[in-house]
Amino acid sequence: MNNTTPLPLVIVSHQLPEAWLAKLHGRCRIITGPPTTVEAGLSADLRTLLPQADGLFSLLTVRVDEALLAQAPRLRVVSNMAVGVDNIDLAACSRHGIPVGHTPGVLTDGTADLTLALLLAVARQLPTAAADAQAGKWTTWLPTGWLGADLQGATLGIVGLGKIGQAVARRAQGFGLRLLYSGPHEKAEAADLGATYVPLETLLCESDFVSLHAPLTTETRHLINAQTLRLMRPSAILINMARGPLVDTAALVDALQNGVIAAAGLDVTDPEPLPPSHPLYSLPNCLVVPHIGSATQHTRRRMAELACENLLAGLEGRPLPHQAN
Ligand code: DGY
């Protein structure tokens, strides 16, 4: 039999290693965009193909909104290679009957590992100590040099006890941290983790370290602002592994410059990327890394594979393994 039905057309917003997309081979026609370093959003070339696209595989730098959907009348699925979906207008996708896939679970451990790495790096002043050693300031063993904060016995406040927050809590138990958490409601898993549910204000007042793991929504935007920063201890360290806009950046700069809090470790920023001239980089008490929470070989490949599985399910009219809307 001569089957002339063409394979569905899928736009993959950016170049990715071929092996990561292997699941798509033979199941759809793929048109791939440029590397993210060339253009973070959807390129003009790919936009011209939207009218024919059946599926869209997006990175978190691609804004999927009503304007994009209006150009893509055939679109049957959007698959985001990220757990966060704040780059996507979920309500608009739902209005168009388009399921949106995302990648929870596979990045939980990688992101939780980096949370502890950032916390330890900031608490023990690793960037300053390393730079000082390299600059010849390691003249002798200094009894009072590069003194940091202990984790054992300190209190960690986790804002958002979802999958990643829980994985952070499990790691934190091993470091002897006392755990508080806040969020929209209590979590059954908290009891096993020894984490106590408290209002955000209490968490901020009582924590030595505050770690953000909530999604970006209208409720969480600028959750950490001039007012809430003032509730934190002058010795406190803020870690943001969630999304940059959870924190009011100007207020954070002011808080770090004026001793309102002691230090911050940021995997995500607002804006993102943070321009090299930004004041946060020049603060010795702030460590910024470029959104690398999930950046391990294994994790990023699994994210891409899961995004492929979501995409194929949407193209074939099956329920997505992980649907966000
Ligand atoms: C996500 O998946 O949302 C992370 O921010 C990137 O790994």
Average pLDDT of the residues of the chain: 97
pLDDT at residue 58 above 60? yes
Contact of 98 with 153, CB cutoff 8 Å = no
Predicted local distance difference test score (pLDDT) of residue 130: 98
* Alpha carbon nearest to ligand 1 atom 7, residue: 294
Distance CA 284, CA 281 (A): 8
> What single letter denotes the amino acid at residue 260?
V
Mean pLDDT of 55-65: 98
What domains can be seen in the chain, in order of their start residue?
9-104+298-315 (3.40.50.720), 108-137+144-288 (3.40.50.720)
Question: Tens digits of per-residue pLDDT, 227-240?
Answer: 999 999 999 999 99
Mean pLDDT of 63-71: 98
- Whether 25 is catalytic is no
Mean pLDDT of 78-90: 98
pLDDT band at 1 (very low <50, low <70, confident <90, very high): very low
Q: Residue 89 C-alpha to ligand 1 middle, in angstroms?
A: 17
pLDDT band at 46 (very low <50, low <70, confident <90, very high): very high
- Whether 18 is catalytic is no
Distance CA 158, CA 153 (A): 16
Distance CA 200, CA 157 (A): 9
> What single letter denotes the amino acid at residue 224?
I
Predicted local distance difference test score (pLDDT) of residue 2: 53
Q: How far apart are the first and last CA of the chain?
A: 39
- Whether 47 is catalytic is no
294 in ligand 1 pocket by Cβ < 6 Å?
yes
Phi, psi for residue 213 in degrees, rounded to 5:
-140, 25
Please give the C-alpha separations between residue 275 and each of 37, 122, 148, 271, 315, in angstroms, as whole numbers: 14, 21, 28, 8, 38
Predicted local distance difference test score (pLDDT) of residue 139: 96
Question: Tens digits of per-residue pLDDT, 244-265?
Answer: 999 999 999 999 999 999 999 9
Question: Tens digits of per-residue pLDDT, 34-44?
Answer: 999 899 999 99
Mean pLDDT of 202-228: 98
Q: Which residues pair with 238 in a beta bridge?
A: 210, 264
Mean pLDDT of 165-170: 98
82 in ligand 1 pocket by Cβ < 6 Å?
yes
pLDDT at residue 286 above 80? yes
pLDDT at residue 152 above 70? yes
Percent of the chain past pLDDT 90, that is, above it, reads 98
Give this prediction's pTM. Answer: 0.96
107 in ligand 1 pocket by Cβ < 6 Å?
yes
User: Which ligand 1 atom is nearest residue 295's CA?
Assistant: 7
293 in ligand 1 pocket by Cβ < 6 Å?
yes
Please give the C-alpha separations between residue 144 and each of 50, 139, 271, in angstroms, as whole numbers: 61, 13, 36
Predicted local distance difference test score (pLDDT) of residue 85: 98
Distance CA 136, CA 133 (A): 5
Catalytic residue among 291, 300, 302, 322: 291
